[in-house]
Homo-oligomer: A and B are copies of this chain.
Amino acid sequence: MSNASSSRRRRGSARTTLTQVAEAAGVSAITVSRALNTPERVNAETRRHILATVERLGYVPNLVAGSLASASSRFIAVIVPSLANAVFIEVIQGLQETFEARGYQILLGNTDYDLDREAQLVRTFLGWSCSALVTAGLRHSEACHNLLNGWDKPIMEMMELGEALDLNVGLDHAAAGHCMARHLLQRGHRQIVYVGGRMAKDYRAGLRYAGHREELAAAGLEAPLIDLERLGSLEAGADALDQVLETHPRADAIHFANDDLATGALLHAQRLGLGVPKDIAIAGFNGLPLGQHVTPRLTTIRSPRHRMGRLAADRLLTRLDGGSVSVRCNVGFSLLVGDST
């Protein structure tokens, strides 16, 4: 039950070891090891006998020892900037499903959008002899680069596309920004404000804004920007709407960096009695279910988050199995036209 037992054994735990199983089964340690890890290399009868002994003694393999001896753990390091964002959760789920089915364990790290923390996490994860590393984004600190460059295992950079260290699965954020801006222009909006949150850190929102701005520039329009101090949340979105109404009273559309902000603004507009899109159009990014359940339905861009996770995991597994995969994979996105624009 609790950690009460304070025996004075010199080292080691009371747990059954592989050697004890071997003795009990009347075989050598390596045979037990093989029966558990590469069963096809052991005679069927011997195997059955060993597994029965394992069961009888309640043996739980010491994975730490195994990893040390084989110089590789079945860990996959996964580093994301935030857990508060449903987007990363879905990517993680995609990764997890695929990896767990193949016996890999995910080691999750959260950088809170801080590149130094990322380097720190990478350091720790390398120390665990992970089989591969997955991280969100292509931007890293110099320390992080140094650590990763000297590493000999697969690295997957996700979410965006570009010059990667190794493998890369993601989508083109600038193109997504272009796409939504074009849509808003087509709908006749001309005073379009872009609203993001902590964009110095969430630089992918910045990439989308760059696309948005180019599109507006091509139409001879300004692209005012509001950069909130908070990341996405319904509350921040509601506040942002107030701010836009005050600072850009002639705005006819708001292009939000994510669906949380957009939906928060949309629900707040409802409370204020503002017509959406009649008085002001609202657009988001991500394609979260929430946006599709409010009235009017949110116009947004859907990214295949879950699929991105699965794809990334599949490619890493292929690589780990010795296969070769193409370096870059564009998962694309789709414009989801709702009634809010």
Contacts A110-B96, A165-B1, A267-B294 given; indicate if A62 touches B289 (C-beta within 8 A).
no
**Which residue of chain B lies nearest to A320 when distances are taken between CB atoms in the complex?**
B3
Cβ B293 vs Cβ A1 within 8 A: no
Contact segment of A121-129, A202-210, A215-223: A121-129
Query: Complex Cα distance A86/B165, Å?
Result: 33
Residues of chain B within 8 A (CB-CB) of A127 are 60-64
Of A63, A71, A105, the most chain B CB neighbours within 10 A belong to: A63
Query: Complex Cα distance A290/B215, Å?
Result: 33
The answer to the question of A147 belonging to the interface, with a C-beta cut-off of 8 Å to chain B, is yes
Query: Complex Cα distance A42/B267, Å?
Result: 60
Interface size on A, residues (CB 8 A): 64
Cβ A290 vs Cβ B234 within 8 A: yes
Cβ B128 vs Cβ A64 within 8 A: yes
Residues of chain B within 8 A (CB-CB) of A238 are 293
The answer to the question of A284 belonging to the interface, with a C-beta cut-off of 8 Å to chain B, is no
Query: Complex Cα distance A222/B193, Å?
Result: 53
Copies in the complex: 2
A246 to chain B, nearest CB (A): 20
Cβ A71 vs Cβ B13 within 8 A: yes
**Which residue of chain B lies nearest to A100 when distances are taken between CB atoms in the complex?**
B110
Residues of chain B within 8 A (CB-CB) of A19 are none
A206 to chain B, nearest CB (A): 25
The answer to the question of A98 belonging to the interface, with a C-beta cut-off of 8 Å to chain B, is no
A87 to chain B, nearest CB (A): 12
Q: What would 22 A/B residue contacts be, using CB atoms closer than 8 Å? A: A1-B166, A2-B166, A3-B153, A3-B154, A13-B71, A14-B152, A60-B123, A60-B126, A62-B68, A63-B127, A64-B129, A65-B68, A68-B68, A83-B89, A105-B109, A107-B107, A233-B289, A234-B293, A238-B293, A267-B295, A270-B295, A271-B295
Known contacts A5-B152, A84-B89, then 10 further A-B pairs from the complex at CB < 8 Å, ordered by chain A residue: A2-B154, A14-B152, A58-B146, A86-B86, A89-B89, A100-B110, A105-B109, A234-B289, A235-B293, A267-B294
Q: Which A-B residue pairs are the 8 nearest by beta carbons?
A: A63-B127, A234-B293, A64-B67, A267-B293, A64-B68, A68-B68, A108-B108, A60-B126
Report A's interface with B, CB cutoff 8 A. 1-3, 5, 11-14, 58, 60-65, 67-68, 71, 73, 83-84, 86, 89, 92-93, 96, 100, 105-110, 123-124, 126-129, 146-147, 149-150, 152-154, 165-166, 233-235, 238, 263-264, 267-268, 270-271, 289-290, 293-295, 319
